[in-house]
Structure 1
Amino acid sequence: MTHQDPPTTPRGPRWRRAEVWAPVVALVVVAAVVWASFWSGPTVGGATDASVGASQDGTPGSYDADPETGGSDGEDGEEPDATGNQGAEVGHVAPEELEESVRRFRAAQRKLADRVSAQLRKRTAPFVFRVASFNVLGDSHTGPGGNKPGFPDGSPRMDMAIAALRNNDIDVVGFQEFEQSQYNFFTARAGEYATYPGMALGNKSVRFNIAWRTSVWTFVDAHTLSIPYAGGSRIDMPVVLLQSNETGRRAWFANFHNPADTPSLGNNGRWRAEAAGIEISHLTELAQSDGYPVIATGDYNEREEIFCRFTAGGVFTAAAGGSSAGGCAPPPRMQVDWIFGSTGVAFSDYAVTDTGRASDHAMVHSTATLTGDE
């Protein structure tokens, strides 16, 4: 089971990615090297040789002529050697060699263009996967002294939860009430999934783990948001960046649990509103500044209120349906568990699956498509 260590401090939005263009730049550099290699080669050339006459005193390159006889001062009266230059033949590239170099360069250009186009097609191609939000009912609720005595304990219920994930081909899931014992059961029995933050942030934050199939996604980055829970106490909740193994497409996933109103916890409407404000503001900024699509899962303990809050800005839509055009129009049937997606995410096949005695919540899930509209 793989596990990613979380950052030690929360992190804000990252600027739009440069890594999409890094392969393009590298390939252009390769093309330049290929071009240079085609035109580099030995230069054909020669040196100039000169034969210079010598005077009687042996001084090279000079002689004295008799103005009357035209002879030299030499005793034998011989004419000095004539001076001559032998020029080298200037080298050149044969036409057939030039044609071959051009042909090879153009072939390399076409290959480079094909590779760049293939990279861009993969990076912008639609990518389809399955996403879920699942409150698995904390083990403490069904153990000794818990308030849900009619349910089995955490171990058999986790087997049921894992079966629900597998039966519905879930690739990414946001858990709530995922306590340490349930985390241990899950990681021991569902080795196809990795998690964040795992146990790295302690017994409180473990309850909000995000899990993904490692055959489909690879961890890239993560940070947390400090969210007010019951009574205003703060808990770090996860935001993780994953990359598709198939296409290289990336998306942010966030998972939250906002406090309910209960006799033991009291009225937490104020803290739900504050939590929703933090969540929506951060995820909207993340989607708009970073450039990657954002998907939020969670038990928000609200129906119409959280739908209207999330969709009001025109950035997010709900997998359950509904509309914000011309005012808030929630879907006809709503749970307190939601999946929201930013621009660049399209939902289909939304379903609410009863998981029996695995939990007192249904699992909500949907097909999500990362479109080309990032």
Structure 2
Amino acid sequence: MRRWAVNHRKRPPRTRTVPVPRVGVRASLAVALLVALLAWATTWAVTDDGGSTSATTGGSQSPPVGGDEPGTSDDGDSASGSDKGSDDQSDGGSGSAGAGEGGADDEKLEKSVRRFRAAQRKLAERVSEQLARRTAPVELRVASFNVLGDSHTGPGGNKPAFYPDASARMNMTIGLLRANDIDVVGFQEFEASQYGMFTSRAGEYSLYPGLSLGDKSVRFNIAWRSSAFQLVEARSLSIPYAGGSRIEMPVVLLESTTTKRRAWFANFHNPADTPSLGNNARWRAEAAGIEIAYLTDLHQADGTPVIVTGDFNEREEIFCRFTAAGVFSAAAGGSSGGGCAPPSNMQVDWVFGSTGVAFDDYAATPTGRASDHNLVHARATLVAGE
């Protein structure tokens, strides 16, 4: 037993001990230091201009480190009633300043909201005005005129001496446009020399394509009164002419200078049957198909009205094809859609308009010695839009 006791004392049973970190004193010191720093920080305030100033009037003092300092209680509050009152007053002053700043911010926000709402109302009024203008009815005089090309009456031309040269006839043409107050006209056989005459003598009109597409395409210019319309977009459509040769013909988007209402205008000349050109019925049919399909798609894309002028070298045939689907009607009258009932007065020169275009006051005015074609014209109204 003694041996066991001795051995037991020497070698006690093994047990698992968990080491306890020896940080008690260090932790206490760290906490005390942190409290001291926080207490010291609360005695300072940041001024409005970014500088620091002491919250006490007695100058900079070392903050208390522990609760044993004279004049402080165990919980860190000041034991002095006067100091306590000072703290309360400081807190109250700070709260009043915060409330004042908050009130000022609220007032600024309210003013900003009022300005924003006023700007919204003005913008809505301007948008409403623009929409009203762009959907208001617009009236214009539109014409189609084959002016008889210069080459027909110049040296070696095929027209009798009844017709004077192109210069004299151009003066007559301009006079006809002005007398009938034409706003937009589609020309055919408008050769380069005649283009130069017109632009130098009728400065109130703008034209497309001018000479930009070459000497062939100049023959199909569209002219519009610059005070009434401005060009928005210009295109050309390749059309088979005599013998199937392709020529670019103009399509333009014009905008009213007063209402900003827009419409597409296209001008074509389909080939005739002549001894020199032969029979071109095939090419006229192909040209008509291209023209009608393109312009129908153009109109139906967004509902913009389309007005078409041209010398189609056909009467009933082209009328029935253009109006068959009910998309286009003729300024000369007649049916639109369903069975074909052409107007009684038909020229080879036509003015057609898509839905959204109404015609009245149609006329085929004789032009005397100016041309071997009448001036076909009408009042077109772009009806009120949605």
TM-score range (shorter-chain normalised) is 0.7 to 0.9
Does 2:177 align with 1:176?
Answer: no
2:144 maps to which of 127, 133, 136: 133
Q: Provide the residue aligned with 1:145 in structure 2.
A: 156
Q: Provide the residue aligned with 1:116 in structure 2.
A: 127
SS at match of 2:211: coil
Tell me by how many angstroms 1:264 deviates: 1.3
Tell me by how many angstroms 1:370 deviates: 1.1
Q: Do the aligned residues in 2 keep the contact of 1:217 with 1:243 (CA within 8 Å)? A: yes
| Structure 1 unaligned regions, length at least 5 | 1-42
Q: Aligned partners of 1:71 and 1:297: how far apart in 2?
A: 105
Aligned counterparts, 1:75-90, within 5 A:
82-83=83-84, 84=87, 85-86=90-91, 87-89=94-96, 90=99
Q: Provide the residue aligned with 1:60 in structure 2.
A: 63
CA deviations on 1:339-361 (whole Å, 9 max, x unpaired) are 01111111111111111100000
Q: Provide the residue aligned with 1:189 in structure 2.
A: 201
Does 2:366 align with 1:354?
Answer: yes
CA deviations on 1:239-285 (whole Å, 9 max, x unpaired) are 11111100111111110000111111111100000000011111111
Structure scoring higher RCO (CA < 8 A, sep ≥ 6) equals 1
Q: Aligned partners of 1:275 and 1:95: how far apart in 2?
A: 70
Distance verdict in 2 for CA 1:350–1:48, change over 3 Å: farther
Q: Aligned partners of 2:279 and 2:108: how far apart in 1?
A: 84
**Percent of paired sites with the same residue:** 69
Q: Do the aligned residues in 2 keep the contact of 1:53 with 1:62 (CA within 8 Å)? A: no
Q: Provide the residue aligned with 1:256 in structure 2.
A: 268
Q: Do the aligned residues in 2 keep the contact of 1:252 with 1:295 (CA within 8 Å)? A: yes
Q: Aligned partners of 2:71 and 2:172: how far apart in 1?
A: 121
Q: Which amino acid aligns with 2:293?
A: S
User: Which structure carries more helix by proportion?
Assistant: 2
Q: Aligned partners of 1:110 and 1:292: how far apart in 2?
A: 29
Distance verdict in 2 for CA 1:72–1:177, change over 3 Å: closer
Q: Do the aligned residues in 1 keep the contact of 2:136 with 2:385 (CA within 8 Å)? A: no
Q: Provide the residue aligned with 1:277 in structure 2.
A: 289
Does 2:353 align with 1:341?
Answer: yes
Q: Which amino acid aligns with 1:145?
A: G
SS at match of 2:288: helix
Q: How high is the TM-score relative to the length of structure 2?
A: 0.76
Q: Aligned partners of 2:224 and 2:71: how far apart in 1?
A: 104
Q: Aligned partners of 2:157 and 2:235: how far apart in 1?
A: 32
Query: Based on CA coordinates, which of the two structures has the bigger radius of gyration?
Result: 2
CA deviations on 1:151-201 (whole Å, 9 max, x unpaired) are 111010010000000000001100000111111111111011111111111
Q: Aligned partners of 1:72 and 1:322: how far apart in 2?
A: 109
Q: Aligned partners of 2:109 and 2:59: how far apart in 1?
A: 47
Over the aligned positions, Cα root-mean-square deviation in angstroms equals 3.0
Q: Do the aligned residues in 2 keep the contact of 1:48 with 1:88 (CA within 8 Å)? A: no
